Amino acid sequence: MRRAIDPETQRIANMRRRAAALERHAAARNPLTGKSTLAIAAGRLGGRKTADRMGCPSAWGLRMALRRHYGIPLTPEASS
């Protein structure tokens, strides 16, 4: 049986990973917009995957807006 990782050691390792990620994003910052090109690319990819999984991107966007602004849980099955 493996020993559990010390929580303090795990916390330090996570902080080091986060610092490395922040350095990568700072290096990839677009000078005009100030945004990280890595973060923009990851957001677009994640949005596409979610939209593909949930159906039509337009319908998914509408369902998310209804849920965000009005609290209406609109599932793909209920909308047909």
- Residue 28 has what pLDDT? 94
pLDDT tens for the 80 residues of the chain, in order: 667 788 999 999 999 999 999 999 999 999 998 999 999 998 888 877 877 777 777 787 888 888 899 988 766 554 44
Residue 67 domain boundaries: 7-79
pTM beyond 0.85: the answer is no
In a domain, 64, yes or no: yes
Residue 1 lies in a domain: no
Number of structural domains the chain divides into: 1
pLDDT of amino acid 77? 57
- How far apart, in whole angstroms, are the C-alpha atoms of residue 29 and residue 23? 10
Taking every pair of Cα atoms in the chain, the longest distance, rounded to a whole number of angstroms, is: 53
Residue 2 lies in a domain: no
Cα dihedral across residues 59, 60, 66, 72: positive or negative: positive
Residues in a beta bridge with 36: 29
